[in-house]
Amino acid sequence: MRRCFYAAVSGDLGLTGVAPLAFGRATMPKPHASLAEHYNHLDEKQTFLRRIFDDAAPHYESIARLGFFGSGQWYRKDALRRAGLRPGMRVLDVASGTGPTARAIRDVIGDEALLTCVEPSAGMLAESRKTLRCEHIQATAEAMPVADESFDFLTMGFALRHVDDLAGAFAEYRRVLKPGGKALILELTLPENRVARFLLKLYFKYTLPLVVRVCTGSKQAAQMMWYYWDTMEVVVKPETIVQALRAAGFSQVEQRTSIGLFSEYEGVRGEEVRPATDDGAAPSTA
Ligand X SMILES: C[S@@+](CC[C@H](N)C(=O)[O-])C[C@H]1O[C@@H](n2cnc3c(N)ncnc32)[C@H](O)[C@@H]1O
- Interaction site with ligand X (CB under 6 A): 49, 53, 64, 94-97, 100-101, 119-121, 124, 140-142, 157-159, 162-164
Nearest approach, Cβ of residue 76 and ligand X (Å): 7
- Where in the chain does DSSP place strands (E)? 15-16, 91-94, 115-118, 135-137, 151-157, 177-188, 250-258, 262-269
Task: State which residue, 83 or 282, has the beta carbon closest to ligand X.
Answer: 83
Nearest approach, Cβ of residue 119 and ligand X (Å): 5
Q: How many CA atoms lie within 13 A of 272 on its CB side?
A: 4
Nearest approach, Cβ of residue 285 and ligand X (Å): 24
Nearest approach, Cβ of residue 101 and ligand X (Å): 4
Task: State which residue, 165 or 285, has the beta carbon closest to ligand X.
Answer: 165
CA distance 286 to 284: 7
Q: How many CA atoms lie within 13 A of 218 on its CB side?
A: 21
Task: State which residue, 96 or 263, has the beta carbon closest to ligand X.
Answer: 96
Task: State which residue, 23 or 68, has the beta carbon closest to ligand X.
Answer: 68
Nearest approach, Cβ of residue 125 and ligand X (Å): 9
Task: State which residue, 216 or 285, has the beta carbon closest to ligand X.
Answer: 216
Strand partners, 121: none
